[in-house]
Chain A
Amino acid sequence: AQTVTQSQPEMSVQEAETVTLSCTYDTSESDYYLFWYKQPPSRQMILVIRQEAYKQQNATENRFSVNFQKAAKSFSLKISDSQLGDAAMYFCAYRRGNNFNKFYFGSGTKLNVKP
């Protein structure tokens, strides 16, 4: 069974600094997708970044980038130049590549941004 583990329940970062959120996953599949989602307090969950397992190049989206280590089954999120609006719950998620269904989420990391 696929599992996603986020070992950091809560983290804090100073505004304008860089923070890295960790995620590991367990799978026997070779074709899959990994995601980071952001859930601000009382607001809708939105996609931050996506990584295809077949791509060696790490995905980047503006201030957000990932460090995808396929052999180690690790998928960390780096947020550069942290902003107050980055404060939220961050969820790592896994989805198999060969069928429609089953999206597996980690337990989340609460990110606090200090002014």
Chain B
Amino acid sequence: DAGVTQSPTHLIKTRGQQVTLRCSPISGHKSVSWYQQVLGQGPQFIFQYYEKEERGRGNFPDRFSARQFPNYSSELNVNALLLGDSALYLCASSLAGQPQETQYFGPGTRLLVL
């Protein structure tokens, strides 16, 4: 079975632009979470979705939004990009989003904002 996949792998944008990142979870997984990992730091939780509903949100501005589709894939949107949004964006999936479950991470999308 394929693991968690993310697209694109790399992206370069300029300040003020908007970006959409995509994630496909492992087959059978219904929960998707998004994380931002700034260089040299640990991942920071952005969102969790389960069965197309938002289950949790981290301390990120409203410029960040996400959604989950009926096939459980997910998109993360960031509007009005700032230089500080440059980071590795990680997607992780799990069966039902329960706290004890193993989260499986994708390879990430590296976003550079110029």
Binding site for B on A (CB under 8 A): 4, 6, 32-33, 37, 43-47, 50, 52, 91, 93, 95-108
CA distance in complex: A68, B57 (Å): 28
- Do most interface residues of chain B lie in helix, strand or loop, or is the interface mixed? loop
Binding site for A on B (CB under 8 A): 3-4, 31, 33, 35, 40-45, 48, 50, 55-58, 90, 97-100, 102-103, 105-108
**Inter-chain contact A43/B100, CB cutoff 8 Å:** no
CA distance in complex: A50, B103 (Å): 11
**Inter-chain contact B100/A101, CB cutoff 8 Å:** no
B71 to chain A, nearest CB (A): 20
B58 contact from A37, A44, A96, A102, Cβ within 8 A: A102
A57 to chain B, nearest CB (A): 16
Given contacts A44-B107, A100-B48, contact A33 B42 (CB under 8 A): no
**Inter-chain contact B50/A45, CB cutoff 8 Å:** no
**Inter-chain contact B106/A44, CB cutoff 8 Å:** yes
**Inter-chain contact B99/A97, CB cutoff 8 Å:** yes
CA distance in complex: A35, B99 (Å): 11
Name 23 interchain pairs, CB-CB below 8 A, sorted by A.
Answer: A33-B99, A43-B107, A44-B3, A44-B105, A44-B106, A44-B107, A45-B105, A52-B100, A95-B99, A97-B99, A97-B100, A99-B55, A99-B56, A100-B50, A100-B55, A100-B97, A101-B97, A102-B48, A103-B35, A103-B43, A105-B43, A106-B42, A107-B42
**A96 contacts across to B, CB distance below 8 A:** 99
Assuming A44-B107, A105-B35, what are 10 further A-B pairs, CB within 8 angstroms?
A44-B4, A45-B43, A46-B105, A97-B100, A99-B56, A100-B50, A100-B97, A103-B43, A107-B41, A108-B41
CA distance in complex: A6, B43 (Å): 13
